[in-house]
Copies of this chain bind each other. A is one copy, B any other.
Amino acid sequence: MPINVAIVEDKNEIREGLTFLINSSEGYRCVGSFGNAEDGLAQIPQLKADVVLMDINLPKMNGIECVRKLKTKKSSIQFIMLTVYEDSERIFESLKAGASGYLLKRTPPAKILEWIGDAHRGGSPMSSEIARKVVQSFQKNTHASPDETAQLSARENEILTHLAKGFTYKEIGDQLFISSETVRSHLRRIYEKLQVHSRTEAVVKFLTR
């Protein structure tokens, strides 16, 4: 059973090149190719596609929007963005929309087949430049500051976790089977350690740590 691939790409030359590449390779079959997002959106759900190669820059609806819509209809399809854009914004938007891979068009054709297989097996093929951008956002969102939350005891962390869900002292106390006064005691220490003076500040430090 070959891997069924569909293509959405507006440049004829590239689209035909990819179609030829896929059809002439053992184990791969191109089951459809479209020059715009609208056609792809209408036809792809009927095809037995396993993997879709999606260009981002398309005439009307862009490829990211197209993935978003298709993914909600047929979540089993794996989408690989195939594009020239290297900026973080487009990468993240694509991944959020449900794409599992993101490749630059300058990827050598031979590699593309490998990536398609990867995606089909549940991997997330990414050019390593792209992966770096993703990793960086990861590092920014998590690492960054000295992280004072590290000095908190297990119990204090537990309290803070509940605080970060918006519960009042009383509610937290009820859930942890302690009095609200105790919760306040813990909070006092937490504020001291985090050097803050309100729930909100504490929660911000906790969530963005």
Contacts and interface: CB of A to CB of B under 8 A. Distances in A.
A82 interface: no
A96 interface: yes
Interface stretch (A40-48, A129-137, A176-184): A129-137
A154 to B, nearest CB: 17
A125 interface: yes
Given A96-B142, A200-B199, A131 B131 contact: yes
A200 B129 CA distance: 37
Interface string A102-129: 0000000000000100110011111111
Nearest to A125: B128
Contacts of A129: 122-124
A198 to B, nearest CB: 6
Nearest to A115: B128
Interface of A: 92, 95-98, 100-101, 115, 118-119, 122-129, 131-135, 137-139, 141-143, 163-166, 168, 196-201, 203-204, 207-208
B139 A131 contact: no
Contact of A204 (B127, B131, B164): B164
A92 B126 contact: no
Nearest to A97: B143
Given A164-B204, A201-B166, A123 B131 contact: yes
Nearest to A102: B135
* Chain A interface, >50% SS class: helix
**Closest 7 A/B residue pairs (Cβ):** A123-B128, A166-B201, A124-B132, A124-B131, A118-B128, A124-B135, A166-B200
A34 to B, nearest CB: 25
B204 A139 contact: no
Contact of A96 (B95, B124, B143): B143
14 contacts: A95-B138, A98-B139, A119-B128, A125-B128, A125-B131, A131-B131, A131-B134, A134-B135, A141-B141, A164-B204, A166-B200, A166-B204, A199-B199, A203-B203
